[in-house]
Structure 1
Amino acid sequence: MTCKSKALSALIIAAVSLAHADSMAADSRESHPDIDTSYGTLTVRDGTKLQTIVTKPAAATRRLPAILFVQWLSCDTIAISDNPRDGWSAMLKNVVRRSNALVWRTEKRGVGQSEGSCATMDYDTELADHREALEQLRSRDDVDSNRIVIFGGSIGGTYAPLLAADERVAGVMIWGAGATTWAERMMKFERNALELGGAPASQLAREMTLRLQFLERYLVRGETPAQIMKADPDVGAVWSRIVGTSADGQYGRPFAFHQQAQKADWAGAWSKVNAPVLALYGEYDWFESHDATTLITRIVNAKSPGRGTFAEIPRMNHHFAQFPSATAAFAEKEGQVNPEPAVSVMLAWLAKIFSRAS
């Protein structure tokens, strides 16, 4: 790996970590004006106990509409600090305080007070945990089971259609996710990282060809980076240049997580969602693509015209900060955390969905 590629990888990993910096530091109980916050335990099928955080309007006397929040890929807490500076926490604080809904969050295995290990947890296990959370949420006495919305953020936006397919939900809302396969998403992500990172145009074709060959073996065939390196050193060497890699995983998750994500049929799942859908995309979100996000609403509307809504938030990146340009957003420079343009769209849509389902 060149010094430049090392610096690029470090920059990207730092950006992902900083996106949840305030949440990670939050070790005290949340406090929201006129909101009741309760901490509970979800015991899943293998006996693992997961921490849950549930917020709801304190003055509520009737069954409430509810939001199941399904979070990002990294092993960061979903707890919200008192004065969040990162975009995700600021966004969540606004949804909790302004949606007039019960909001359910589940800490991943090994995060917060949850048992287990996030670093070794695969995609299918995490999906099953969220599925059990949805079941428990639906059974609560204070929840209107006809008014449950699944809200998936980042990788959570890929779990959302799998949870909602052929299920009775009031709606599905996603941010920063698409309906293309994981390998397609990874290719686009790597292309964005190279181009926005200033890689010479003369190197792009060869580098992307090598990454295509690597990702096909890694994600589609299910080979490990070590196996690929042994079979083809030129292709295997790409691993050290791919973003967020380590000896035993990528983005802090095991190889199996990414290989199972590749096997997931997200497009097929979206075709089985029988509820309104809001797909949100930040204009400068280089983690995902415009086309992959609009594919969600194209699939939904092909089945039921008008059911899917797409909204692009100007100048916003993956982490609810706004920047003057795409290159500035990539470099995390000259940006300002400002989730309001996205939150206002979310809240307006949620209000319509909840009133329609009541």
Structure 2
Amino acid sequence: MITRDTWAEGPAGKLRLRWTLPPGEGPFPWVMYLPGYAAGSLAFHPEGTVDPLRCLLSALNEAGFATVRAEKRGFGGGGGPKAQDAGFEEEHADLAAALSAVTRDERVRGERGVLFGHSLGGLHAPRLAAGVAAVRGVALYGVGWLTWAEYLVASQRRVLGLSGASPVEIEARVRVLERYNARALHGGAEPAEALEGIEAWGRWLGVDEHGRQLGRTGRYWREVQACPVASPLLALEVPVLAMWGSADWQSQREEHVALVEAIHAARPGMARFEEVAGADHDWRAHATPEASMASGWTGDFADGVAEALLRWLRER
């Protein structure tokens, strides 16, 4: 793996673009990785630890593809306020600026590439691809077909069930979640305000001492809720791959299947569903969702993720 960094000019300042390259002079076909919601650096984990992202990108390099990922604002030496305070749409604008810089880079000039949306990055991918001639496909992993509020309820029912919670406890927690969402996602309240009367559930809901939920502002999550899911995917004129791992307890197989079926109905033959046996949401190898939950975000890389993605890429 050969690593290089370049810079893009984003709306709030410079954004570091982290490249990994195959041997040779290029230009190379390319894959741009779009991560989920976490507001942190996209630098690789320290050497000697299992880093699923490094493993996947290395497999792509070995197959002749360049890869690139844009650091979120304020990370990797980039400018502007930290991503924790940015909205979802501001993050989308940063990614659009990064994609524009990627398509002009000499390493990939004249080559067409694929956007790979992981988790909430899957909401960005189809919107970014629209009208960009250099994009020849959209790959997705661990994404959704529901609105954010719908997903949260469905996901928590599944996660609580896998954790062994009783039907009574599941119902009670879902009611708390729906009460919180009514305020935070639909009513415009900030996370701390939305906890009024249900403060004891703050940690379970992911609200921290800084008044953020899962490390992001209330505005970020309201913009995720407002982001269209179906229409950008159905408007795409390029092939779509939707991958889901059988050990993924954070996203649901049914949503991926429904997504592909909807695209098939609109544009026959333009979408594929791939179930990756033994892969979890973080691309780690586990036999079951329960095993993944118990692992504490550890485990070997699930090679099937790279294999499924490469099978599809080689057809493009």
Q: TM-score, normalised by structure 2?
A: 0.90
Shift of 1:203: 2.1
Conserved? CA contact 2:206–2:214, under 8 Å: yes
Structure 1 SS opposite 2:112:
strand
1:180 counterpart letter in structure 2: L
For the Cα contact (< 8 Å) 1:65–1:148, is it kept in 2? yes
1:162 Cα deviation after fit: 1.6
Q: Which residue of 1 aligns with 2:190?
A: 224
1:178 aligned counterpart, secondary structure: coil
- Alpha-carbon shift at residue 352 of structure 1 (Å): 1.2
Q: CA deviation at 1:198?
A: 2.3
Q: 1:199 to 1:241 in 2, by over 3 A?
A: farther
Taking the TM superposition and a 5 Å limit, the aligned residue runs for 1:279-294 are: 279-294=242-257
Superposition deviation, residue 166 in structure 1: 4.0
Deviation, structure 1 residue 99 = 3.5
1:53 maps to 18
- From 105, 118, 121, the equivalent of 1:156 is 121
Q: Which amino acid in 2 is paired with 1:282?
A: G
Which of residues 135, 143, 149 is equivalent to 2:100? 135
Which residue of 2 is the match for residue 184 of structure 1? 150
The question of whether the paired residues in 2 share the 8 Å contact of 1:158 and 1:179 is answered with no
Question: Bigger shift: 187-196 or 283-292?
Answer: 187-196
Sort the Cα spacing of 1:223 and 1:145 in 2 relative to 1 into closer, same or farther, 3 A. Answer: farther
Who is 1:242 aligned against? 204
Q: Residues 271 and 299 of structure 1 are in contact (CA less than 8 Å); yes or no, is this contact kept in structure 2?
A: yes
Pair 1:215-2:181 in alignment: yes
Q: Percent of aligned pairs with the same residue?
A: 25
1:42 positional shift: 1.2
1:257 equivalent among 210, 220, 234: 220
Measure how far apart 1:171 and its partner are.
0.3
Q: In 2, distance between residues paired with 1:229 and 1:172?
A: 38
**8 A contact 2:180–2:195 mirrored in 1:** no
Matches within 5 A, 1:10-159: 32=1, 35=2, 37-46=3-12, 48-61=13-26, 63-80=27-44, 81-95=46-60, 97-115=61-79, 116-145=81-110, 147-159=112-124
1:235-261: per-residue Cα shift (whole Å, max 9, x none)?
A: x34742534321411221111111110
Cα deviation, residue 333, structure 1: 6.8
How big is each residue's C-alpha offset from its partner over 1:276-326, in whole Å with a ceiling of 9 and x where there is no partner? 011110112111111222232123212211110111111221111222332
Equivalent position amino acid for 2:102 in 1: L
Counterpart code for 1:158: L
Contact 2:280 2:286 in 1 (8 A): yes
**5+ residue gaps in structure 1?**
1-31, 354-358
Determine the structure 1 residue equivalent to 2:169.
203
Match of 1:320, as an amino acid?
W
CA contact (8 A) 1:72 1:155 kept: yes
In structure 2, list runs of 5 or more residues that go unmatched. Answer: none
Partner AA of 2:190 in structure 1: T
**Is residue 9–residue 98 contact of structure 2 (8 Å, CA) maintained in 1?**
no
Please give the alpha-carbon distance, in whole angstroms, between the structure 1 residues aligned to 2:292 and 2:219.
Answer: 30
If the length of structure 1 is used for normalisation, what is the TM-score?
Answer: 0.80
In the alignment, which of 259, 266, 270 is matched to residue 303 of structure 1?
Answer: 266
Residues 66-101 of structure 1: CA deviation (Å, up to 9, x unaligned): 211111221232223544413233223322x22312
SS in 1 for 2:207: coil
Query: Residues of 1 paired with 2:73 and 2:201: CA distance?
Result: 27
For the aligned residue pairs, the C-alpha RMSD in angstroms reads: 2.2
Q: Cα distance 1:41–1:148, how it changes in 2: closer, same or farther (>3 A)?
A: same
What is the CA–CA distance in structure 1 between the aligned matches of 2:56 and 2:270, rounded to whole Å?
Answer: 24
Q: Deviations over 1:188-224 (max 9, x none)?
A: 2322332222222222223212322321332123222
Does the 8 Å CA contact 2:177/2:205 hold for their aligned counterparts? no
